[in-house]
Structure 1
Amino acid sequence: MIDGGRSRGDARALTELANLHALGLDPALFEPRREDRFDLPYRFPYQLGLFMAVNAIPGCFVVIDGPDCIYRKAEWIHGRHDLRSTLLDAGGRHRVVSTLMHSGEVIKSEGEAVVKRLRRVAQLPEAELALVCSMPHVQIIGTQYDALIASVEGELPLPIYEVPSRSLESDWLGGYAEVLSTLARRLAPPPEAEGLVEDEVAIIGLLMDRTEADHLGNVAELERLVADVGLRPVSTWLSDRPLAHLRRALTARYLLALPHGVDAARLLARRSGATVIEVEQPFGLQATARMLMALGEASGRERAARAVIERELRAIVPRFEWLIPSFLARKRVAFSGDPTLFDGLLEGLGELGMRPLHLSAPALRPEYGVRLDSDYPPTPPVLFAPGQSVVRRQLEGICASLGLDLIIGGHELPVPKDTDPWQGSEREKIGRLHFGFPNFFCHAIHDSPFLGFQGWAWFIQEIARTIGTR
C-alpha cells in the first residue's frame, strides 16, 4: 500500500486521471464499456510474426500443420506489406508450406503429412532450414513434432527445428521472438568456430517485418554505429541474410539484445559464454545514445561511444531547429504500432514540443522494452491489444473535442473513416502517416531507416512532411 493507504492500482488510476486532465481529454472516452468484451481484437496473430521471421531468412521454409488458410496470412506480407518478399512463389515453391490439415482429418492425423512436406522441402536446392509449427486446432491432438523431426533428421540434408505453437496465448511479436529463441537453442556454430572473438558483436532482436529498404536501412544504421564504436558487427538477427550469417552470433563476444531478442540473446549466451547487453529500442536520439553508451561501457569503449554520440548529435540536432516552430510544436499526435517504440517516441515528442493524445498497440504488452516512465510529459492511457471499436471510439472522441494534427500507424489501424484519406475523405486537417505493420501503401526503394540517429531524422522528416502537406 502506498499514498496513505491507496493501492498501487489506485495510484496508477489517479496518475492517468491527472494526465487526462492535463491533456484536456475527457476521461469518459477511456472508460471501458460492457460491450467491449465482444469486440473484434486489434491484435495480429502469432503466425504473422512467424512468417515475418521466415521471410527475413533467405533459404528458410516453414511447414505449418493446418489448413490452407495460412496462405491468406502470408499474403499480408508477400506482395502487399513487403514487395520484395519471397514467401510465396508463382510456381508453387512457397516458403510457407501447409499440410492442408482440415478439422475433419485432425483426429486421424499421426503427422505423416508433416514428414511428407519436409521431404519435399529438402529436395529444393535453395532450402537451408526448415521450421515446423502447427495451427491451434491441430495442436490440441498433441502431435509429437520432435519425434517426427527426429525420424527424418539423419535422412534429410538440412536442419529442422520445431517452433512452439503459441497462437492461443501470444501474438505476432511473440511469434517473431519465438523463432529467434528457437534458433538460439538449436543453431549450430560455424564449422570454423574456435571460441569467442573479442571485438565481434551480434545484434539480436531487430524486428524485420519486411525486407524493403526501410528495414535494410535499420540494419545498415545499427551496424554502422556499432562499427563506429570500434567493434565488428558480424551477425544481425534478422537482416535478410542466410543461415551462415546467423551462425556467426555464436562466436561474437557481445550480444546486443534489442527488446524482441532478449530471450534469444540469453539463450545464446548460455551456450557460447558471450556477454549480453540488453538495451531499449534505439528509436529516438536519447534512446540511441543510451544504447551506444551501454555497448561502450560493456566493451571498455566508453570514450569512443561518447565521441560517436557527440558527432551524431552535432550533425543532426541543428536540422530540427527550424522544423520545431514551423511544423512540430504543439501538434497533436496519435500513434499506434510496435509497443517497444513507445518510450523513444514519448521522449522524442516531448523534446519537439508535440502532444501525444493516443497510444495503442496491435499487440499484447511485451515482457521487454516498455517502461512508460512517469517522468515523461503527460500521456494518455496506453492500449495494448484493445478492441477495434475502442480504438475507433477514442480517436473519434479526440478528433471531435481537441482535434488531431497527425495519426501515425499501419493500414489496419481502425481510424474513423472521415479522417482517412485512403477512404476517400475530403477532410484535410489530419495528416495520416502510414508507418509500421502492415503498410500496404508506402514502400521503400532507398535506405530510409527509422532506428538510430539517422532513423530518427528520417522519422521526423516524414512527420513534418505529412503535417505540412495534409
Structure 2
Amino acid sequence: MRLNPPYLHGAFLALNAMSDAYFLGDGPDCIRAKGEQIHGRHDLFSTLMSCKGEHRIHYTGLSVFNIAQNLEKEIAAGLERIAARPACGAVFMGSVPMCTIAGTDYERIVREVFAGAFKPAFVVPPQIGLAGDWLDGYSAVLEVMACGMDLEPAAPGPERVAVVGYMMGRNEGDHRGNIRELERILRALDLEPVSTWLSGGNYESLRAVRRAGTIIAFGHGRKAAGILAERLGVRLIEAELPFGLAATKRFVEDLGLKFGKQAEADAFIRKELGEVVPALEWVVPHAFLGRRFAYAGDPHYAAAFAEMIEDLGGEITGMILMGGGRHLTEVSRASLSARPRAVFEPMQNAVERDWLGLSRREVDVLVATTMAVEFIRPRTSWLEFGYPSDYTHFLKDEPFLGFRGALGFYSRLANEVTRGFCMDWMTPEEMQSQSKAVSENLLSDGTCRRPE
C-alpha cells in the first residue's frame, strides 16, 4: 500500500465542499465509512453525515454475495429517493472498483431516472484499477460537473472571474478563510469573483461560473477549468497557488499584468508586504534561520512550502509527496524529484523504514497530514497540514493563502519550532547513553574533559 489517500476520499472531499450535493455509491457500507473519515474527524463542520439519519452519502449495499444479481431497479429507486429530498441540489452516482467491473451501466440508469431534469445528476468516473488517488477523485468530480452542468444563460463579464480548481479541504476556518482571502485579492484588483470551485457553497453558486469572463485555474482542477473556459468561450489563466509571500506576490503580479491592472497590483503588494514583513523581524533569526523542516502532504503545495522555508533561511531535509507525480507539470515534478530525500507516494513499508521515529537530530519541524504523522510517529515537533488533519481544527477564519495567510502559517511554524526548544525528545535509551557519555568525561572538579 502506498502512503496516498484513495480515490473516493478525494471525491468525498469535493462532495463535502458542496453543501447540497448527495451521493449514491454502488457498493458495500465501506462507502459510508469513507465519509465518516471526513465528517467530524477531519472536518468538524461537515454535513456529509447526520445524527437525524439525513446523510448525504448513501450506498446500495452491493457485496460479493449479490454482485451477480441485476439490481438496476434498486439503484434507480435509490436515486429517486435521494433526489426527492428537499435539501438535495444535485445527485452524484459512483461505484467502488468491485462493482464497476460488474458492468452496470450507471450512465444509462441516471439518464433514465433524471430524464425530466428535475435535479442535476452526474456519474463520477470510476477509479481505474488501483491507479487513482484522492487527487484524481477530487478532480473527477469537478470535471464531470464542468462537462454536464447547465450553463445557460451565460452572461460573461470582462472583469468577472471564477476560480476553478481550489482544493476546499474542509468547511473549517482555514479553508473558509482562504476563500475570503482569494476574493479579497481579486477585489483589490477591481475584479469581481463570481464563483469558486469549490468553496463550501451550494450547487447553484457553482453555476454562477457562467457569468465569468475569465477563469483562473488552480492545479486541483485544471482540466475542469479548461472544459468550462471552452464551453463558455472565455479566457483561461493558469495560476499557481498563492501559498507563501513570494508565490502570492507572483500571483498578484500575474493577474495585474493579464488584466491590465499593474498599478492596482503594485499598490496592493506594497501595502500587504508593509504589514506582513515587519511582523517577521524577530522570528526569522530565531525560528527559521538554519532550522530544518520536512514535509509530507499534498504535492501541489510542496514547492511553495520549500520556497517559504528557504526564503527565510531554513532547510528542507525531506519530502513525502502524497499524490501521484502526474498531477504536477513536468517542470514541477522534476524540480521536486531532484530534492534530497523527496519521493512521490512511497510504499508504507518504505516510509516506516526511512522515516519512522523522525528525530529532533534530523529535523526541527515535520509539516504533515494525520496519515503521515501516524506512520512516521515523529520524535520532534510536528505541524498538521492538509488532508487529513484530524487533530488540528479552526473554528474561525485563519487562512494560509495570500499575504495574510502566509503570516498566519509562518506563525504556526514558529510556534512549533520554539515549542520544541523546551521538550525532551530523547528516548530512555538515548538519555541513558547521553548520561553515560557525560559521566565518562566528568573530571573531579565537576568540569568536563576538553575534547582532544
> 1:276/1:433 Cα in 2 relative to 1: closer, same or farther (>3 Å)?
same
- SS of residue matched to 1:181: helix
Counterpart residue number, 2:120? 159
CA deviation vs aligned residue, 1:395-442 (integer Å, no higher than 9, x gap): 248638x5211111111115677635xxxxxxxxx2111111111111
Alignment of 1:59-70 (within 5 A): 59-70=20-31
- Preserved CA contact (<8 Å) 1:52 1:209: yes
Counterpart residue number, 1:178? 140
- SS of residue matched to 1:219: helix
Counterpart residue number, 1:206? 166
Cα separation, 1, equivalents of 2:330 and 2:400: 18
- Preserved CA contact (<8 Å) 1:260 1:368: no
CA deviation vs aligned residue, 1:76-131 (integer Å, no higher than 9, x gap): 10010001111011222211110111122222235223211111111210001001
- Preserved CA contact (<8 Å) 2:358 2:378: no
The structure whose Rg is larger is 2
1:233 paired with 2:193, answer yes
- SS of residue matched to 2:359: helix
Counterpart residue number, 1:445? 395
- TM-score, normalising length: structure 2: 0.88
Q: Could you tell me which amino acid in structure 1 is paired with residue 199 of structure 2?
A: S
Tell me whether 166-175 or 338-347 shows the greater mean CA deviation: 166-175
Cα separation, 2, equivalents of 1:369 and 1:392: 29
1:320 paired with 2:283, answer no
- SS of residue matched to 1:61: strand
Counterpart residue number, 2:346? 386
Superposed displacement of residue 155, structure 1: 4.3
Counterpart residue number, 2:131? 169
> 1:134/1:396 Cα in 2 relative to 1: closer, same or farther (>3 Å)?
closer
1:348 paired with 2:298, answer no
Superposed displacement of residue 165, structure 1: 0.7
Cα separation, 2, equivalents of 1:414 and 1:346: 19
Counterpart residue number, 2:97? 136
> 1:204/1:433 Cα in 2 relative to 1: closer, same or farther (>3 Å)?
same
Tell me whether 317-326 or 261-270 shows the greater mean CA deviation: 317-326
Superposed displacement of residue 137, structure 1: 0.6
Q: Could you tell me which amino acid in structure 1 is paired with residue 17 of structure 2?
A: A
- Preserved CA contact (<8 Å) 1:87 1:95: yes
CA deviation vs aligned residue, 1:360-390 (integer Å, no higher than 9, x gap): 12221243367448889x8314211111232
1:466 paired with 2:416, answer yes
Superposed displacement of residue 299, structure 1: 1.7
Counterpart residue number, 1:26? none
Alignment of 1:285-296 (within 5 A): 285-296=245-256
- SS of residue matched to 1:419: coil
Counterpart residue number, 1:263? 223
Cα separation, 2, equivalents of 1:418 and 1:300: 50
- SS of residue matched to 2:324: coil
| Structure 1: runs of 5 or more not aligned | 1-39, 421-429
- SS of residue matched to 2:325: coil
In the alignment, which of 188, 196, 214 is matched to residue 150 of structure 2? 188
- Preserved CA contact (<8 Å) 2:352 2:376: no
- Preserved CA contact (<8 Å) 1:163 1:182: yes
In the alignment, which of 32, 45, 56 is matched to residue 95 of structure 1? 56
Cα separation, 1, equivalents of 2:231 and 2:136: 22
> 1:351/1:139 Cα in 2 relative to 1: closer, same or farther (>3 Å)?
same
Cα separation, 2, equivalents of 1:306 and 1:413: 39
Superposed displacement of residue 355, structure 1: 0.9
Superposed displacement of residue 71, structure 1: 1.6
1:109 paired with 2:59, answer no
In the alignment, which of 353, 362, 371 is matched to residue 412 of structure 1? 371
- Preserved CA contact (<8 Å) 1:189 1:251: no
CA deviation vs aligned residue, 1:147-175 (integer Å, no higher than 9, x gap): 11111113462111111012532111110
- SS of residue matched to 2:269: helix
Q: Could you tell me which amino acid in structure 1 is paired with residue 139 of structure 2?
A: A
- SS of residue matched to 1:141: coil
- SS of residue matched to 1:306: helix
Q: Could you tell me which amino acid in structure 1 is paired with residue 260 of structure 2?
A: G
> 1:351/1:70 Cα in 2 relative to 1: closer, same or farther (>3 Å)?
same
Counterpart residue number, 1:77? 38
Superposed displacement of residue 227, structure 1: 0.7
Cα separation, 1, equivalents of 2:335 and 2:372: 28
Cα separation, 2, equivalents of 1:306 and 1:249: 28
Please tell me the root mean square deviation across aligned C-alpha atoms, in Å: 2.1
Counterpart residue number, 2:385? 435
- Preserved CA contact (<8 Å) 1:339 1:370: no
Counterpart residue number, 2:450? none
Cα separation, 2, equivalents of 1:89 and 1:320: 43
CA deviation vs aligned residue, 1:169-198 (integer Å, no higher than 9, x gap): 2111110111111111111125xx353111
- SS of residue matched to 2:37: helix
| Structure 2: runs of 5 or more not aligned | 421-452
* Count of equivalent residues: 419
Cα separation, 2, equivalents of 1:131 and 1:393: 40
Superposed displacement of residue 391, structure 1: 2.0
- Preserved CA contact (<8 Å) 1:391 1:414: no
CA deviation vs aligned residue, 1:213-262 (integer Å, no higher than 9, x gap): 11000100011001101100010111111112101112201111011111
Cα separation, 1, equivalents of 2:341 and 2:49: 39
Cα separation, 2, equivalents of 1:370 and 1:438: 26
CA deviation vs aligned residue, 1:239-297 (integer Å, no higher than 9, x gap): 11111210111220111101111101100011101111101121111111222222222
Q: What is the aligned-residue identity percentage?
A: 33
- Preserved CA contact (<8 Å) 1:340 1:370: no
1:284 paired with 2:281, answer no
